[in-house]
Structure 1
């Protein structure tokens, strides 16, 4: 029944056989400092904007997590206004969960990160360390080194000699990148997960070359005293000629058959959509360029590399159905194998089998709420009113506020907004994107405040207008900045101790799972030959 649940009842619901969405409605910093293993971040500050994509079926059971501070009840009411019919919350929130003997996990993307660790443990993914890689480079030993992260992360920092090739794209484009079946291939990321998943993906694709993950990625490289390369521009993804495309398609057919992943067409997609008892996600796992060029109407772009790494950014319902859109089917097949290991029912739909791409699939589109219109006010006029005492509330991220904000603006966030405003009368001005301001305005209107305005422009506009900007590196304080996760946040910026803590955290995830959490995984036999184990 909707309403409060004891931690024991909530635990049973989270691990039940049917679909369920466990949404943590606290802000990002609160969530990242400790949450139930299966909880998906859905912060109250943007709840109505995020929830429809995460939970597209209105009658799926939803279980909310907060700090026992009433935000879950407020979230339940907001979700009810969107049409969700079965919303419960943990009585007492995350603290009660922990007090009942259940673990709160730090960090983000826990199920995906743990998948990487389980692959290492059960599949014995071959790895090499930084010493070995450097020796190969020094001795001129032939090898291929690929950075399996998105190009934006490659540009921030990478291992010297690495080529940017995100996971999923690497096996798909392998025939255009590697011309023989004997040269070793090494995959790295910033830590562990995408190195392990990337190497496993190559093995699942049937790549014959010796395959290795680089142990501990760029963080391990830095901890060994070696320098990274920064500011590298990733070249365009390798183009596939007819032979390379055929090679990808052949590998896809083998992977789909070997792992019994259903390949469907438009007619089957329509049948799945018509099943109103199940939640369905249609995700395009190809590159951003391919998705922009052509895709099936209502397909959401979720590149393979990030969908496996951060599944909970796209999929909010446990045990849901997922259809993956692809061209040859290989990126979809490999992603499907990993998602199935995470407990999802997976299908692959090739572009060639999708029918008329311009035709929307009835019943598939995500409902997006219409944000209420908040009248705008010029930033200069807003500052003038604020200096006379009118409240000027900055709803942007705490990090953006610390970096630069309008003079006289105070920072706040939706869960604490009414306390920040207090018994204000007269005009009240809000800074932020249209969606965030609209949600805040709806709460303030319900509290009896109706003279509300959204401040026009952004920092760049305000600078051009020569408006006074203030930087406050310590305000809001770390304790107040509940939207920011400080958990080893500078591990990529030279803080070696943060990097050590992060790697230890990743390696320790499996040991912290309880029996029910471990049972959520469906990991099949290893694709690596026994001699590589």
Structure 2
């Protein structure tokens, strides 16, 4: 790949753009783990490894202002070149990269989804969101008190570990369904997540919506529960949808009032169409219902983004700070409640009623992507023969967790961004075969690998899925990692084997976020 020259933008100019509330996509193109160690508040992680898979979906306007940086890894210029090839016309490099931001006095943040997490801490500080300690909640459960525990995370997270007896109610569903789950106004409602943010936002949503029940966040979530020496449950499967839905009119009225107070606009289809066509302005469109509802039928042009996760991961779904966001649902509650939080986070946000009116599309959410490059492919059976001959090296560019769980025997793992370094570790071979889960990412990585070697480069047709489906041998483990596992940051609040020191350090970090917001000064958060 020929790397072209790009203009540089100073940290001061980036900051001025943020303060002017103009559109900008500040992109950290490193892998997720180094990104999570240090980055500016409004930096969005768009790894070089996955640019072709994610850019068009996350940056829908091709002439948006894009500023790319790394921390000296040599990824920024190639990523900018790749973005130019994908049709982006206003691409610059951050002068000095991450070090330049630091040297200019810019505030640096750790972890992921930092805008939402820091906003959650500000909400608690401003609104004194009610909470109960792990010991207090355990006492209620032990006494068999009139209490219901609602887990505001994704169902998969809830299944991995949760409060015993809890019910999965992802954040956007809380106001819509709490009256069904706790019909007696005397029932104590507890909202939990793994750490703090989703339980704070979920609890405050119920408070803002004026539900009659006493409500409290589980202070510090499952981390707090574990640090208190209490046992979590695993494999629970109770969902909010297991309880029959009642009359949502009270929830609709409450959500409408909360949205009004937050300054959320109500849009017509014609207004949304005009916004999408408006030059020089990015308009994101999200359907905040559950993935199952979205797949059954949704408005064309709307991406699926369940409301609770959208509020938690706004930087993932909408990396263009200063953009407009339009939300829709079919109940008048979920979009309004989600929009109320986005408005408080400084977004220009509107609601379009009626996700299931007009012409609809079906199927799961799928990002738009460029055409797959033409590559030489090899079928699993032929690859098996090549491997038996001992003259072929397989490089797996899938997620490292997937590779460790199972992979083709003898395959090496490397993120696409580290292929040059990987070749220094992998023994030389007569040919290289790239693979991943489906072969999609491998097809884009093939052009990078071909530029690094004079040996022929092939792609496994159908990827690892095709190999496993053919019943060919497989193995697991991390014996052949050609790169450190930098593709994903291990959250201190996920999984079941985290060190207590890491969990406590994570809480201490969250407690300091409000002070960091003050030092940074670019957030425009306004808590109602």
For normalisation by structure 2, the TM-score amounts to: 0.90
**Aligned match of 1:235 in 236, 239, 250?**
239
Deviation of 1:322 (Å)? 0.6
CA distance in 1, matches of 2:258, 2:491: 38
2:228 equivalent to 1:219? no
**Cα deviation per residue 1:79-102 (whole Å; 9 max; x = unaligned)?**
111111111122332233223332
**Aligned match of 2:124 in 117, 120, 125?**
120
The 5 Å alignment of 1:345-360 reads 345-351=348-354, 355-358=357-360
CA distance in 1, matches of 2:406, 2:469: 14
Q: Please report the RMSD computed on the Cα atoms of aligned residues, expressed in angstroms.
A: 2.8
The residue aligned with 2:448 is 443
Is contact 1:173–1:240 with CA below 8 Å preserved after alignment?
A: no
Is contact 1:402–1:475 with CA below 8 Å preserved after alignment?
A: no
**Cα deviation per residue 1:64-89 (whole Å; 9 max; x = unaligned)?**
12122331111111111111111112
The 5 Å alignment of 1:4-403 reads 4-235=8-239, 237=241, 244-351=247-354, 355-358=357-360, 367-386=368-387, 387-403=389-405
Deviation of 1:295 (Å)? 1.2
Is contact 1:265–1:349 with CA below 8 Å preserved after alignment?
A: yes
Which ranges of structure 1 fall in alignment gaps of 5 or more residues? 526-533
The alpha-carbon distance between structure 1 residues 389 and 137, as it changes in their structure 2 partners (threshold 3 A), is same
CA distance in 2, matches of 1:450, 1:111: 45
Which ranges of structure 2 fall in alignment gaps of 5 or more residues? none
Deviation of 1:27 (Å)? 0.8
The residue aligned with 1:528 is none
CA distance in 1, matches of 2:476, 2:138: 43
The residue aligned with 2:507 is 503
CA distance in 1, matches of 2:452, 2:194: 46
CA distance in 2, matches of 1:179, 1:124: 25
The alpha-carbon distance between structure 1 residues 426 and 489, as it changes in their structure 2 partners (threshold 3 A), is farther
Deviation of 1:325 (Å)? 0.7
Deviation of 1:214 (Å)? 0.9
Is contact 2:181–2:240 with CA below 8 Å preserved after alignment?
A: no
For structure 1, which segment, 416-425 or 22-31, has the greater mean C-alpha deviation from structure 2 after superposition? 416-425
Deviation of 1:425 (Å)? 8.6
CA distance in 2, matches of 1:488, 1:256: 33
For normalisation by structure 1, the TM-score amounts to: 0.89
CA distance in 2, matches of 1:253, 1:9: 38
For structure 1, which segment, 342-351 or 444-453, has the greater mean C-alpha deviation from structure 2 after superposition? 444-453
CA distance in 1, matches of 2:416, 2:465: 24
CA distance in 1, matches of 2:30, 2:279: 30
2:483 equivalent to 1:482? no
The residue aligned with 1:530 is none
The alignment of Structure 1 onto Structure 2 pairs a total of residues equal to 517
The alpha-carbon distance between structure 1 residues 167 and 380, as it changes in their structure 2 partners (threshold 3 A), is same
The alpha-carbon distance between structure 1 residues 460 and 70, as it changes in their structure 2 partners (threshold 3 A), is closer
**Cα deviation per residue 1:135-177 (whole Å; 9 max; x = unaligned)?**
2223333222211112111111111222221112121112322
Q: What SS class does the counterpart of residue 160 from structure 1 fall into?
A: coil
